[in-house]
Amino acid sequence: MRTLNLALGQINTIVGDFERNFEKIVEFIEKAKKAGVEIIAFPELSITGYPPEDLLLKPEFIDDNLKYLEKLLPHTAGITAIVGFVDRVDDIFNAAAILHNKKIAGVYHKIFLPNYGVFDEDRYFQAGEKVKVFSLNDIWFGVNICEDIWYPGGPSRDQALYGGAEIIINISSSPYHYGKARDRYRMLSVRAADNDVIVAYVNLVGGQDELVFDGNSMVVSEEGRLLAKAGCFEEQLLMVTLNPADVFKKRLHDPRRRKEKRLVAVEEKVERIALPPLPRKARKEKLASEIIDFLDPTAEVYRALVTGLRDYVRKNNFQKVVLGISGGIDSALVATIAVDALGHENVIGVSMPSSYTSSSSKSDARLLAENLKIKFYEIPITNLYQAYLKELEPIFQGREMDITEENIQARIRGNLLMALSNKFGWLVLATGNKSEVSVGYCTLYGDMVGGFSVIKDVPKTMVYELAQYRNHQAGFDLIPENILKKAPSAELRPDQKDTDSLPPYDVLDPILRAYVEEDISFEDIVSRGFEEEAVKRVIRMVDGNEYKRRQAAPGIKITHRAFGKERRFPITNRYNRSS
């Protein structure tokens, strides 16, 4: 029986850390060898880390990446390793190297270069043209890269139909957003069934700036059924024994393949490369495979936030983080995520009450800190605030108090957090959510201060869902119940509530989702049942606060469309269909 022992190396790389990425790849190759694996595949651009962005414009970066590819060769004795790297011919290519028994047996260049959302690959790479398949011990497999497999008539079809590939190995670095893992599985299942081919998909895992990669590597049968699946947000060596005979049986019942195949000469479409046989063992052990189920959507988002924060902090060489804890839901959730990501000993909470801060907010902040077992400081800002007002009084004379005085309080707090950061080397975490950031309900150089904004892409309604999820996991009110129940307030003036300035969040968030993430027009949003004036007001606030978002800290992408790289609007902009 023809069988293939395959492994997918779901690893966490660091952009530009060639030595660490090399060591990680070697570590997984050695594990695979011991298990009797014949082919192991690693994620897209696994040598350089993903995405390398403008590092690709440095010739020395390309040189170093090629040196480390060569350095891998001795470690591939007795095994085939598929590794993502940057190839250089007359241009540079997003490439996969097929390293076979200490030699480079072939190189595949990515054909479809994404240039939407967070992707900008046309900026850097030349597109590949040639589709390739390889044989190992009489089993034919095709290799392609990430975006290539999303196209129904793309390389996967040509490799399976014209090249005779029984297995497609796709190496990927596909960033996470809410629900994407299940979307990928549906796509891979269709691609496998349509092409009568086994699909093995290996994905990157870990955080890189605003992006987080979920892993969820998987192997799908020629019928679209899961054969093996890795977990999410963790490194894993996923192994499986494949039987291509099942592919041949299915193809015998598919006459459309014969008709379509006659239309194009194989040599026009596919280059076929036979790899020298690897030594066969007298008795090949079948690999134990596993299928780790998809996470519940809320759990998935929470794990993404923990992973994104942990890797941002660790990969940028920070040890501890500090954040303001107001007694509100946003800072409570961020503090909880930080403890889960970094450990309670590496999180510092600071309460900075003013004369407008309620006694319940003070006690809630302290109780949260006690529950999380974090170091906690209280620095009242009343005297500092009064000093500001006194110095500004001659200039402000005759003018009523307004949002200016509210913002002064927020900026005092931001200043104190930055002082602690400078003195102790702690990374400041901003605590604003997507709803606030969208409409500018935040203070520039105040509560927006920070090196990283954990829930920047999390709508307010989801903030509550995540807090309730974490309390359920804890088995008690880790985040105090009063924080979840009380009306949201910035507490910058007497009896202030968020709804004084904004629509209720259960109204605001669907409008924002339609306008920001779906690009729905004013008229169509109103047609969904929202009040016309509310929609106009929200759109004006979103459009008028682009300047704030440009100056905000980076934060983890969670939704289908995040601010920053993914949504790019001019600050100077007079276009408004809702006016």
Residue 9, SS3? strand
- The whole-angstrom separation of Cα 501 and Cα 499 is 5
pLDDT value for 511:
93
- For the annotated catalytic residues, the residue numbers are 44, 110, 146
Residue 37, SS3? coil
Residues 6+ apart with CB under 8 A from 265: none
Q: Are 468 and 484 in contact (CB under 8 A)?
A: yes
pLDDT value for 456:
95
Our CA dihedral for 10, 15, 18, 20, rounded to 10 degrees, sits at: -60
- The whole-angstrom separation of Cα 100 and Cα 81 is 6
pLDDT value for 262:
65
pTM: 0.93
pLDDT value for 189:
95
pLDDT value for 529:
92
Q: Which residue has the tokens 């108090």?
A: 401
pLDDT value for 499:
83
Q: Are 463 and 566 in contact (CB under 8 A)?
A: no
Q: Are 458 and 433 in contact (CB under 8 A)?
A: yes
Task: List strand residue ranges (DSSP E) for 153-293, in order.
Answer: 167-172, 198-203, 205-208, 211-214, 218-220, 226-229, 236-242, 270-274
Full set of structural domains in the chain with CATH: 4-274 (3.60.110.10), 308-497 (3.40.50.620)
Q: Are 175 and 211 in contact (CB under 8 A)?
A: yes
Q: What is the pLDDT along the chain (579 residues), one digit of tens a residue?
A: 788 999 999 999 999 999 999 999 999 999 999 999 999 999 999 999 999 999 999 999 999 999 999 999 999 999 999 999 999 999 999 999 999 999 999 999 999 998 887 888 989 999 998 999 999 988 999 999 999 999 998 999 999 988 889 999 999 999 999 999 999 999 999 999 999 999 999 999 999 999 999 999 999 999 999 999 999 999 999 999 999 988 888 888 877 777 776 666 555 778 899 999 877 665 677 888 899 999 999 999 999 999 999 999 999 999 999 999 999 999 999 999 999 999 999 999 999 999 888 888 899 999 999 999 999 999 999 999 999 999 999 999 989 999 899 999 999 999 999 999 999 999 999 999 999 999 999 999 999 999 999 999 999 999 999 999 999 999 999 999 999 998 887 777 887 887 888 889 999 999 999 999 999 999 999 999 999 999 999 999 999 999 999 999 999 999 988 888 888 888 888 787 665
- Cis status of the peptide bond prior to 244, with omega within 30 of 0: no
Residue 331: both structure tokens together: 């800072």
Residue 224, SS3? coil
Local structure of residue 148 (DSSP, 8 states): G
Residue 213, SS3? strand
Strand order from edge to edge, sheet including 4-10: 103-109, 92-100, 80-88, 39-41, 4-10, 236-242
Residue 308, SS3? helix
- The whole-angstrom separation of Cα 575 and Cα 579 is 9
Closest by CA to 16, choosing from 70, 53, 42, is: 53
Q: Are 470 and 336 in contact (CB under 8 A)?
A: yes
pLDDT value for 54:
92
